[in-house]
Chains A and B, each alone.
Chain A
Amino acid sequence: MISHRVAGKLSGELGIGIAFLLEFVLFSLLSPYFFTPDNLLNVSLQASITAIIAAGMTFVILTGGIDLSVGSLVAFAGIVSTTLLKTGLSPAAGFIAAILAGLAIGALSGAFAGFCITRFSIAPFIVTLAMMTIWRGAAFVWTDGRPVWELPGGFAFLGTGRLLAVPVPTIIMVLTFFASHIILTRTRFGRYVYAVGGNIEAARLAGIRTGKVLVNVYILSGTLASLSGILLASRMNSGQPNAGVSYELDVIAAVVVGGTSLAGGAGSIVGTFIGAMLIAVLRNGLNLLNVNSYFQQVIVGVVILLAVMLDQIRRRRT
């Protein structure tokens, strides 16, 4: 027996899934290069940085919150990691320390944001807006506005390497989504995320420590933003203080196109994955068709709007 919820969910992802497939077929017909392994792997690589952040953002938005700090965290975590790489520790130790420190920055940032949101009841929008400004500023202060160059060899593997022809960031993205999906659908924490987003007071009165759930959600989002930041730094083989500008908006777009409600309580990781891919494929396809890059932005905006409209119409019908 298939439950209403599962049926509802499937149909939710079905809508965006069909849109994605149509897009896929369209570009395959229009461009001979589109449907080739090389290009598709390239698309996944392009998508990976924002998609990984979008997985974390899905948790945040499911609780009814938002995390605007992710773009700045990409830059700051990248800078912290690359700086540490240059301290001259032994290659292996330095490598691990750099990555752990980068991830820790994101986790701490998320923990602090979550603390402000739960303890002082400040709106997530405001708290993470402030964090966004703080980390962007910190990135410039730390580097004096100059990129961190001349990194030890080997670091670039994370962002540019391939395993069996598959780009490493793509593999990390797939693993992230797999783990996120399992956490969201099969663990207590995941269930609590939906409960908190659905009705936070009812969740508290059911014995859920809602503050803890919220803090963890922002820690997760911050950590995944840092992970993306490290991958991006590796890809550019440098720590850039202006990396990741306005990523938060691309990420939110992917989550929303994927059918997650900004009001919280409804959505899925699978949806976010399709949402992120839909936007990435669109950009790639338009590039292949030599569409003017200014005009591309207009089209991406229109598609985001259409996707969300279709979703609303479907919801109203059911």
Chain B
Amino acid sequence: MTTAPLLEMRGITKRYPGVLALSGVDFTLQAGEVNCLVGENGAGKSTLIKVLSGAVQKDGGTMSVGGQAAHVGSPADAQHLGIGVIYQDFKLVPALSVAENILLGSEPVHRRTPVIDRTAMEEKAASALGRLGEAIDTGIPVGHLSVAQQQMVEIAKALSRDVRILAMDEPTAPLTERETESLFRVIRSLKESGVGVIYISHRLEEIFEVGDRVTILRDGALVHTCTIGEIDRRGLIRKMVGRELENEYPRVSLERGKEILRTENLSSDRVTGVNLTLYRGEILGLAGLVGAGRSEFARLVFGADRKSEGRVFLDGREIDPASPHRAIREGIGLLTEDRNRYGLIMQMSIRENISLANLRAMLTGPFIDRRKEEAAARQLSEDLRIKSTGTGVIVETLSGGNRQKVVLARWLNTKARVLIFDEPTAGIDVGVKFEIYTLINRLAERGIGVIVISSDLPELLGICHRIAVMCEGRLTGIVEGGEATQEAVMTYAHRNRP
């Protein structure tokens, strides 16, 4: 190959106070190529993308685009160079229409006037969407679209700016399986038109499906880069983690105890008549497509939403989880799906987040006893191996995996007897995933009843004793661990009636 690569980054170094986020990283992207950027949280993937997009300034190294030295001093520079980034949280204005969002900041105007040319705008927006094979009405507000459609609007927005280099940060995290497939179709058609795609994902299957090349970072340094055919899943994990993982899914045998949680005909507007029993020491998976009502079921049991009908029993005794406050007092805990939005108080320290659900136990008289609080937090931080310089560290500064551990520590501090994990490993890297599975196993061994909701089916098959499957708000089937296969679960997941 004699042509210059589309993007070449050489020796990129970025220093934050106290941390070397990137040390001399090389990264190359050819036109029409999908280069997957992988690594554990904190490996430097996001920082590299931020350098590329001008969100932060590199401290060392060189960059060239299309063979010409390029300086990216600001996001505007990046845009001029044809660099676009699709972040996990979209940069869209919900109240504005699809067309207005796509052309935000580069609206076509009537000649010599400041008046927006609406017809031209609609046409341009429609043609950008057309390139993606998407037929979204350009007139409706973006806030009314599904997450997948919003993502397409983001991509169309980038295309309308003649993007040649498109970076996507965990684009499939909020998508259903079907939406993921159509995203992959779009990525393939972008490749054909010569766009270079940088693809970041924790889901390794996707990398093998959509990637041409993979670039592995660890601790801010380049570990390895090769074409996708030259590496297998196991090798990829080994290079990411830096050691051999014996088994992706640790498993404990079940000593099924007595019934601990039972629901009878539990219903709301999103859940219909769920009868489910959970036993002490059991890890029960809850599978289903996105929108099947799994999280909604968990929220009913936890009292986060009000049930319209049905009963909940704990240890055979009927309880009324009318609010999270009540549910927690009964001994039920929920680790919510989006831990940043619903789990943690970001400005608070690790210690304060851990004690939050059980401050009562930290009191001496009417006052919070710092020593009790600190002792509990330190103990749990050590147990769960939360990596930080102390329990006073603000959780906002922690990585995703450590944040998840802080939430878990909070529930362990409540002495909960039933714990519901909603997507516990979403956005968490392989090494920490293994730790989370091990912790879940330890909880089960202690006799706690565990429900795990996950869209990662291999994960459920790997760690659960039984898998209950939901579809459109109903429980459609239960598969015993031994006989559980992806096919069996997916059959139930698509079955509307039992």
Contact = CB atoms under 8 A, between A and B. Distances in A.
For chain B, what secondary structure do more than half of its interface residues adopt (helix, strand, loop), or is it mixed? mixed
Nearest to B302: A205
Contacts of B356: 191, 195, 203, 206-208
B362 to A, nearest CB: 8
B498 interface: no
Nearest to A182: B367
Given A188-B368, A205-B336, A199 B392 contact: no
Chain B interface size, under 10 / 10 to 19 / 20 to 34 / 35 or more: 35 or more
Contacts of B304: 204-205
A187 B363 CA distance: 8
Q: Which residue among A206, A207, A265 has the maximum number of chain B CB atoms within 10 Å of its CB?
A: A206
A3 B343 CA distance: 22
A87 B414 CA distance: 54
B347 interface: yes
A195 B392 contact: no
Contacts of B325: 207-209
B344 interface: yes
User: Which secondary structure dominates chain A's binding surface?
Assistant: helix
A5 B348 CA distance: 8
Given A3-B390, A3-B391, A3-B392, A194 B324 contact: no
A66 interface: no
B324 A205 contact: yes
B346 A198 contact: yes
Interface string A1-45: 111111010000000000000000000000000000000000000
A5 B394 contact: yes
B465 interface: no
Contact of A199 (B302, B345, B352): B345
A188 B363 contact: yes
A4 B367 contact: no
B342 A202 contact: yes
Contact of B367 (A187, A198, A201, A208): A187
Contacts of A182: 367
A186 interface: yes
Contacts of A198: 345-348
Interface string B232-243: 000000000000
Nearest to B393: A4
Contacts of A208: 325, 356
Interface string B331-353: 00010100001111111110110
21 contacts: A1-B392, A4-B392, A4-B394, A4-B397, A5-B349, A186-B368, A187-B366, A187-B367, A188-B363, A191-B359, A194-B345, A198-B348, A199-B344, A202-B341, A203-B345, A205-B302, A205-B324, A206-B357, A207-B329, A207-B357, A209-B325
